[in-house]
Amino acid sequence: MEQLATIDGPERSVIVVAEKDRRNPQVARAVAAHPGLAMVSVPGPLTAVAMTDLVLRESDLGAAECVEVARALPPFLRTYAVLSSATKVEQPAPPFLTYLASLLPWTRFGLDLHEGRYLKPVDLPRVVPEAGVRIISAPTARFSTDLLPAGAAARDVALELPATSWGARHAVECTLLIGSVEDVVAQILSRDAVACVNCQVPTRLSLCPFCGVRQAPEHRKASA
């Protein structure tokens, strides 16, 4: 669990966690104990969480804006992986033949998480030209990160951590941001924010991320 922002004053904070950690008792206790704390759970593996971290850290945002950007970011992300086995991957579940092939020790599989499909590693795209940033996991003894798609002009950020979300003995992954950090954030925040009807924190969401009060339809229309 990592706190990414304490902006808008010390009573307003945002933490970003992986989707799988959303029901972690430590996270639940932290949110329950601090009414001014908002939690954002990020779907996807390690590099997708790291990309959300990077975008928020590199943007001059208030706490409420951090929540909005983090929740709206997944459509701008493309995650690819090469795995030695797909038997423990829950989403997307492997086709039956892929599952059977995973039982063989020499196999490897490419995964396009955005499309939700398995394919041969050589069939993964070699370049994603629209990417502005690429985050890659650490290589393994068997898999090099050269197996992963690159961005034509993307800035590369290499993690020291291995890809562990897949339940495979060997795995490498990358997540690419489609566009620059500045352009993506500007697109997400293109609407004007309106103060929450209850706690007055500026928000573009239908449900305030801090006090949990649902905004009236006319309030949401005003922010459109």
| pLDDT (tens digit per residue) in 34-45 | 766 777 788 888
| pLDDT at residue 50 tops 80 | yes
Domain chopping of the chain, boundaries? 76-180, 191-224
Reduced to 3 states (helix: H, G, I; strand: E, B; else coil), residue 193 is coil
Q: Which of 60, 57, 70, 43 lies closest to 8, judged by CA? A: 60
What is the CATH number assigned to the segment(s) 76-180?
A: 3.30.1180
Q: What is the mean pLDDT of the chain?
A: 82
pLDDT digits (tens, 9 = 90+) for 134-192: 999 999 989 999 999 999 888 999 998 888 889 898 999 999 999 999 999 999 888 77
Residues 181-197: tens digit of each pLDDT: 999 999 988 877 778 87
Q: Look at 70-74, 83-87, 156-160, 192-196 and tell me which has the smallest mean pLDDT.
A: 192-196
Contact 131, 178 (CB under 8 A): yes
Q: How would you list the strands of the sheet with 171-178, edge to edge?
A: 117-119, 109-112, 77-83, 171-178, 131-136, 155-158
